[in-house]
Amino acid sequence: MRGIIFFLIASFFFLPIVQAEELETVIIEVEGDAEVHADYIKKYHPFIEVVATYSTLFNGIALQGKPQQLERLHTAEFITGIHDVQTYKAEPVRSSGQPQTQQAGEVPAHAHTGKNIKVGVIDTGIDYTHPDLKDNFAGGYDLFDLDEDPMETMPGEGMPTSHGTHVAGIIAANGKLQGIAPDASLYAYRALGPGGFGSTVHVLAALEQAVKDEMDVINLSLGNEVNGPDYPTSLAVDKAVELGIPVIIANGNSGPAPWTVGSPATAKNALAVGAVQAPTEMPYLYHAQEKQEISLTAMQGSPAWELAKDYKLMNADENRTDLNGKIALFKRGEITFRDLALKAQENGAAAVLIYNNEPGELHGGLDNEDGAVKIPVAGITQEDGEWLTEYTGTYIDTVYESLDTTIAPFSSRGPATVNWQIKPNVAAPGAAINSTVPGGYEHLSGTSMAAPYVAGAVALLKEAHPDWSVDKIYHALETTATPLQTETGEFQAPSIQGHGVIQPHQAIEAPTIISNGTLEAGKITDRREEKQFTIQLENRTSETQQFTFDVPKRKQGMEWKLPLSFKIEPHATEEIKVALKVTSPKLLEGIQEDFLTLKEQTENKTYHLPYLFVNQSADQPKIAGIEFSLKPFSDDIYSYTLYTTEELQLVSIDLYDPDTLTYRGNLLELKEPSVGMNEGEIPSYKLAPGNYLGIITAINNDKEIETTEIPLHIE
Which residues have a Cβ under 8 Å from the Cβ of 26 and sit 6 or more positions away?
62, 63, 64, 70, 82
Residue 98 pLDDT exceeds 60? no
Per-residue pLDDT tens digits for 323-333: 999 999 999 99
- Name the more confident of 480 and 67: 480
Closest C-alpha to 260, from 277, 274, 271: 274
Q: What is the rounded CA–CA span in Å between residue 51 and residue 62?
A: 5
Residue 106 pLDDT exceeds 60? no
Tell me the average pLDDT across 415-440: 94
Per-residue pLDDT tens digits for 504-517: 999 999 999 999 99
The pLDDT, as a whole number, for residue 360 is 78
pTM of the predicted structure, to 2 decimals: 0.83
The pLDDT, as a whole number, for residue 564 is 84
Residue 101 pLDDT exceeds 60? no
Q: Is the peptide bond before 415 cis (omega within 30 degrees of 0)?
A: yes
Closest C-alpha to 623, from 640, 639, 646: 646
Residue 9's pLDDT band, with cuts at 50, 70 and 90, is very low
The pLDDT, as a whole number, for residue 300 is 73
The pLDDT, as a whole number, for residue 20 is 40
The pLDDT, as a whole number, for residue 59 is 87
Q: What share of the chain is helix, strand, coil (3-state, %, to 5)?
A: 15, 35, 45
Residue 91 pLDDT exceeds 90? no
> Taking a C-beta distance cutoff of 8 angstroms, is the pair 417, 227 a contact?
yes
Residue 286 pLDDT exceeds 80? yes
The pLDDT, as a whole number, for residue 84 is 43
Residue 613 pLDDT exceeds 90? yes
Residue 103's pLDDT band, with cuts at 50, 70 and 90, is low
> Taking a C-beta distance cutoff of 8 angstroms, is the pair 60, 396 a contact?
no
Residue 255 pLDDT exceeds 60? yes
Helix, coil or strand: residue 207:
helix
Per-residue pLDDT tens digits for 537-554: 999 999 999 999 999 988
Residue 19 pLDDT exceeds 70? no
Residue 318's pLDDT band, with cuts at 50, 70 and 90, is low
> Taking a C-beta distance cutoff of 8 angstroms, is the pair 580, 530 a contact?
yes
Helix, coil or strand: residue 644:
strand
Provide the strand spans (E) within 191-245: 197-198, 217-220
Per-residue pLDDT tens digits for 394-420: 999 999 887 778 899 889 999 999 999
Per-residue pLDDT tens digits for 565-578: 999 999 999 999 99
- Name the more confident of 289 and 174: 174
Per-residue pLDDT tens digits for 272-282: 999 998 877 77
The pLDDT, as a whole number, for residue 97 is 44
Residue 448 pLDDT exceeds 70? yes
> Taking a C-beta distance cutoff of 8 angstroms, is the pair 432, 95 a contact?
yes
Helix, coil or strand: residue 36:
helix
Residue 6's pLDDT band, with cuts at 50, 70 and 90, is very low
The pLDDT, as a whole number, for residue 631 is 67
Helix (H) or strand (E) holding 681: strand 676-683
The pLDDT, as a whole number, for residue 331 is 93
Residue 10's pLDDT band, with cuts at 50, 70 and 90, is very low
Helix, coil or strand: residue 353:
strand
Per-residue pLDDT tens digits for 187-205: 999 999 998 888 888 899 9
Per-residue pLDDT tens digits for 675-710: 988 888 887 766 677 888 989 999 998 888 999 888
How many helices (H) and strands (E) in the chain?
Answer: 11, 43
The pLDDT, as a whole number, for residue 5 is 25
Residue 4 pLDDT exceeds 60? no
Per-residue pLDDT tens digits for 122-155: 999 999 999 999 999 999 999 999 999 999 999 8
Domains along the chain?
A: 1-278+404-502 (3.40.50.200), 280-402 (3.50.30.30), 511-615 (2.60.40.10), 623-714 (2.60.40.2550)
Tell me the average pLDDT across 290-303: 86
For the ranges 407-416, 473-482, 648-657, the maximum mean pLDDT occurs at 473-482
- Name the more confident of 12 and 231: 231
Residue 229 pLDDT exceeds 50? yes
Backbone angles phi, psi at 386, to 5 degrees: -65, -35
Q: Which amino acid is at 695?
A: I
By the 10 Å C-beta count (0-12 exposed, 13-18 middle, 19+ buried), 69 is classed as middle
Backbone angles phi, psi at 382, to 5 degrees: -60, -45
The pLDDT, as a whole number, for residue 365 is 75
> Taking a C-beta distance cutoff of 8 angstroms, is the pair 228, 624 a contact?
yes
> Taking a C-beta distance cutoff of 8 angstroms, is the pair 300, 94 a contact?
yes
The pLDDT, as a whole number, for residue 638 is 77
Residue 343's pLDDT band, with cuts at 50, 70 and 90, is very high
Residue 436 pLDDT exceeds 90? yes
Residue 17 pLDDT exceeds 60? no
Q: At what angle do helices 447-464 and 163-172 cross, to 10 degrees?
A: 30
> Taking a C-beta distance cutoff of 8 angstroms, is the pair 79, 73 a contact?
yes
Residue 425 pLDDT exceeds 90? yes
By the 10 Å C-beta count (0-12 exposed, 13-18 middle, 19+ buried), 620 is classed as buried
Helix, coil or strand: residue 497:
helix
Query: Between β-strands 637-644 and 623-630, what pairing exists: parallel, antiparallel or unpaired?
Result: antiparallel
Residue 29 pLDDT exceeds 70? yes
Calculate the average pLDDT of the chain: 88
The pLDDT, as a whole number, for residue 135 is 97
